[in-house]
Amino acid sequence: MYPYDISDDERELAGLVRAFAEEVVAPRSYEADRTHTLPLDVVAQMGELGLFGLPFPEEHGGQGGDYFALCLAIEGLARVDQSIAITLEAGVSLGAMPVFRFGTDAQKQEHLPDLLAGTALAGFGLTEPEAGSDAGATRTTARLDGDEWVIDGSKQFITNSGTDITRFVTVTAVTGETDGRKEISTIIVPNGTPGFTVEPAYDKVGWNASDTHPLTFQGARVPQANLLGERGRGFANFLHILDEGRIAIAALATGAAEGCLEAAVEYAGARTVFGDRLSARQGIQFMLARMRARVHTARLAWHHAARLRDAGRPFKSEAAIAKLTASDAAMDNARDATQIFGGNGFMNEFPVARHYRDSKILEVGEGTSEVQLLVIARALGVA
């Protein structure tokens, strides 16, 4: 159920993605999760639907839509499979969007067509062992040697960095100092670059079908022209990308919360306990009602933030509110849905069990809940 502010075209897109999720994604989700495998044929079909190109101009191979449209697609996928949804979210927000926002004409022409078609993926290397929420503590370095950047350091938790169609990662690196402060820049490092190693994938609690790796750089050399955006503006540019990404994560979390609600309503209506339907019990009814309220509130929050972003208005605080609200909704709904399912909720073949594992990272990735609270407090002038 969508709020009043959705247009007919947007409703049609949401319906298209919902059908794709039910018919193509859902039947593959359990096996993909069990084997920790990203189904690239499903990613290819997402590309054919134009999902990776939704918020980009047609001149670059995009669909000419906006960020709201992208978030509708992410929410629709996350109902049935968070791993597939984060593959789209990261592929756009962290892969293609930095190139579109800050790349040179040559970089856009080289990379955007394939990224927007879903035939290539890219990662964004920000997080390090000693630089998570404190991204300014970056230790990875890049120095100029002639007309090449020489990169040394490591990154961790990098999504879409090791698939068979991963084209490159964009990394943040210290490229010097200005007035005693680190100068952080972003540099494109193609996969296969000597000295750049994609380490073995993580054994994660959730998002098992999402591709996630640590990365190491030991004297990795790339052309000077691989600098993405202005030198020294890498951290500031990333913060802008992160604000947008928080809206997308909020949409993903809303989809997860919706998926838990739908599954719980269906199960409670079919399950018989002591001769009566589980849904006939007032305690269960109240639990489902709270789940519905969480979905509604989360959806309103990300809708508002996305509309502000697309209108060119400030949205930093609203994005933080949306991510905080929606990630809480996803975790709470996953817990309640698992409780309603009882023992079956502990079995991975049931989607609510996977949502229970998957949803925790929503309170951590792309800014922890504590960081969101800090952003909101700053907007209030009290931090």
pLDDT (0 to 100) of residue 242: 86
Domain that holds residue 333: 236-380
**Average pLDDT across the chain, whole number:** 94
What are the CA-CA distances from residue 87 to residues 132, 260, 346 (Å)? Answer: 20, 20, 25
Among 231, 260, 281, give the residue marking a domain's end. Answer: 231
pLDDT at 234 over 90: no
Same domain? 376 vs 240: yes
Mean pLDDT calculated for residue range 228-244: 87
What pLDDT band is residue 294 in, cutting at 50, 70 and 90?
very high
Place of tokens 């947008």: 244
CATH value at residue 145: 2.40.110.10
CB neighbours of 90 closer than 8 A, spacing ≥ 6?
Answer: 123, 124, 159, 160
Query: Which tokens is 32 given?
Result: 């993909």
pLDDT (0 to 100) of residue 4: 65
What pLDDT band is residue 369 in, cutting at 50, 70 and 90?
very high
pLDDT at 3 over 70: no
- The rounded percent of the chain whose pLDDT value lies above 70 is 98
pLDDT (0 to 100) of residue 238: 82
Same domain? 211 vs 255: no
CB neighbours of 239 closer than 8 A, spacing ≥ 6?
Answer: none
Among 231, 252, 272, give the residue marking a domain's end. Answer: 231
Residue 366 appears among annotated catalytic residues? yes
Same domain? 196 vs 310: no
Does residue 251 lie in a domain region?
yes
pLDDT (0 to 100) of residue 178: 79
Query: Which tokens is 367 given?
Result: 């800014």
pLDDT (0 to 100) of residue 1: 58
Among 121, 144, 179, give the residue marking a domain's end. Answer: 121
Same domain? 251 vs 374: yes
Same domain? 264 vs 365: yes
Is-contact 259 81, C-beta < 8 A?
A: no
pLDDT at 47 over 80: yes
Same domain? 371 vs 361: yes
Does residue 83 lie in a domain region?
yes
Does residue 222 lie in a domain region?
yes
pTM for the structure as a whole:
0.95
What are the CA-CA distances from residue 151 to residues 58, 111, 154, 188, 194 (Å)? Answer: 34, 21, 10, 11, 11
Same domain? 375 vs 242: yes
pLDDT at 5 over 80: no
pLDDT (0 to 100) of residue 245: 94
Same domain? 185 vs 56: no
User: How far, in Å, CA of 98 to CA of 108, rounded?
Assistant: 10
What pLDDT band is residue 180 in, cutting at 50, 70 and 90?
confident
Same domain? 12 vs 60: yes
Same domain? 197 vs 246: no
Same domain? 274 vs 224: no
- pLDDT tens digits for 192-206? 999 999 999 999 999
Does residue 139 lie in a domain region?
yes
pLDDT at 208 over 90: yes
Does residue 2 lie in a domain region?
no
User: How far, in Å, CA of 71 to CA of 247, rounded?
Assistant: 8
Query: Which tokens is 83 given?
Result: 């791993």
Same domain? 359 vs 263: yes
pLDDT (0 to 100) of residue 137: 84
Which candidate in 10, 199, 366, 370 is catalytic?
366
CATH value at residue 64: 1.10.540.10
Q: Report the domain count for the chain.
A: 3
Mean pLDDT calculated for residue range 91-106: 96
pLDDT at 372 over 90: yes
Phi-psi region of 129 (alpha: psi -120 to 50; beta: other; left: phi over 0): alpha
CATH value at residue 255: 1.20.140.10
Does residue 301 lie in a domain region?
yes
Mean pLDDT calculated for residue range 120-141: 85
Is-contact 177 136, C-beta < 8 A?
A: no
